[in-house]
Amino acid sequence: MAQISRNQLSLSLRYQNRFRMELISHVFILIPIILAAWAFSDGRGSERLEQLTGLSDQFTFIILGFVAFTALGIGNMMLQESHIAFAISYEMMTGTLERMFLMPVRRITILLGIGNYYIALFTFQALTLFLGAWLIFGFEPELTTRGLLFALWAVLVLVVTNVTLGIIGAALTLAFKDNQMYMLVIHRPAALVSGAYFFIDLMPQPMKFLAYINPVSYAVDAFRGALTGTPLLTDSTLIALLAASAYTVALCLLAGLVYRLDGPNGTRGKPIPFLVAIMDIQRTNRIRCRQSRSLAVSIRITLVR
């Protein structure tokens, strides 16, 4: 896995401009939001926001939501190619994916090997954004031991959710052979209804319903609640954290299921079975490797005799 992660890093370093941009890209998404918020509230605290959420400082509200987004890999401008799902689709387009699956390692190791790079990248982005907002712009979260622990728990949940969404995204990308699918079906809808920088209850009813069943909403809310003391979706941060964790476990199971189900032949265009059919190449290859090794051994024994 370490070797695959190292390879992913080498590949990223080959595209220097992209790599530099990856390190700062999240700021480019945040700036128009912050500037719009600044213009709408005339550069002062928002009374309306205070009425709705109990927080008067719109920047604290937006930045904390956005830090959570970033840890999740969603607040990333380079998402078109900086994500597990897209790293996989890139390998597919350049023709190296099949080769990767033929390596004698577990398929999940390959995905996590690719994923490690992005986990490190997104954690770096979240951390720098948080520290930058804190140290440079005077943004002040409520830092208590309990709050920090909850925040770390929330970040862990966000990172694991990021990997599981990436794996499910990879399934969609491979099944439809279309790398826009993940963006349209998972990433952007989940981002929209999570309320990272607006109040969820203002959305139309069907979207509000989606927000309340969206795992990302709880993780974002738990992170913000841990550092402000005012969660919006639930009565306490702990409940939001537990809900987010439960969702993450469910997503892990779903992602695991995607890789364990056996599909029949002729699975093209059917997301899960098709993915499994591709994964089966790797399994068959392992068996072949084992068979060829034992064949080589038996030939050697014959020759020695």
- Nearest CB to another protein, comparing residues 18 and 286: 18
Q: Check binding of 229 to another protein (CB under 8 A).
A: no
Among 106, 156, 189, 285, binds another protein (CB under 8 A): 189
Angle at the Cα of 32 (from 143 to 75), degrees rounded to 5? 60
CA 76/CA 15 separation, integer angstroms: 17
Return the residue of 3, 96, 144, 180 that touches another protein, per CB under 8 A.
180
Under the binding rule (CB under 8 A), the answer on residue 205 touching another protein is no
Residue count, binding to another protein (CB under 8 A): 56
Nearer to another protein, 208 or 283 (CB): 208
The pattern of x and - marking residues 24 through 63 that bind another protein according to CB under 8 A reads -x--xx-xxx-xxxxxxxxx--x-xx--x-----x-----
Looking at residues 59 to 78 of the shown chain, list those that interact with another protein (rule: CB under 8 A). Answer: 77-78
**How far is it, in rounded angstroms, from Cα 208 to Cα 202?**
8
Taking the least distance from each CB to another protein, the nearer of 31 and 289 is 31
Closest approach, Cβ 234 to another protein, in A, equals 19
Count CB atoms within 10 A of the CB of residue 203: 16
Cα 68 from Cα 60, distance rounded (Å): 12
Q: Which of 171, 181, 227, 275 binds another protein (CB under 8 A)?
A: 181
Q: Is 296 in the site for another protein (CB under 8 A)?
A: no
Burial classification of residue 189, based on how many CB atoms lie within 10 Å of its CB (0-12 exposed, 13-18 middle, 19 or more buried) = middle
How far is 216 from 221, CA to CA, in rounded Å? 8
Mention every residue, 6+ apart, whose C-beta is less than 8 A from residue 22.
Answer: 12, 76, 78, 82, 121
146 binds another protein (CB under 8 A): no
Give the whole-angstrom CA distance, residue 190 versus residue 247. 13
304 binds another protein (CB under 8 A): no
List the one residue from 131, 152, 184, 295 that touches another protein (CB under 8 A): 184
176 binds another protein (CB under 8 A): yes
Residue 91 makes CB contacts below 8 A (sequence gap 6+) with 97, 100
Question: DSSP states of 251-282 as a string?
Answer: HHHHHHHHHH----S--TT-HHHHHHHHHHHH
Cα–Cα nearest to 26, from 118, 145, 142:
118
Among 9, 102, 105, 108, binds another protein (CB under 8 A): 9
Q: To the nearest whole angstrom, how small is the minimum distance from the Cβ of residue 294 to another protein?
A: 17
Contact between 213 and another protein per CB under 8 A:
no
Pick 81 or 280: Cβ nearer another protein: 81
- 3-state SS assignment for residue 26: helix
* Residue 149 C-alpha from the chain's centroid: 21
Pull the structure tokens for residue 1. 């896995």
Q: Is 298 in the site for another protein (CB under 8 A)?
A: no
Q: Which is nearer to another protein, 148 or 192 (CB)?
A: 192
Residues that bind another protein (CB under 8 A): 9-10, 13-21, 25, 28-29, 31-33, 35-43, 46, 48-49, 52, 58, 77-78, 80-81, 93-94, 176-178, 180-181, 184-185, 188-189, 191-192, 195, 197-199, 202-203, 299, 303
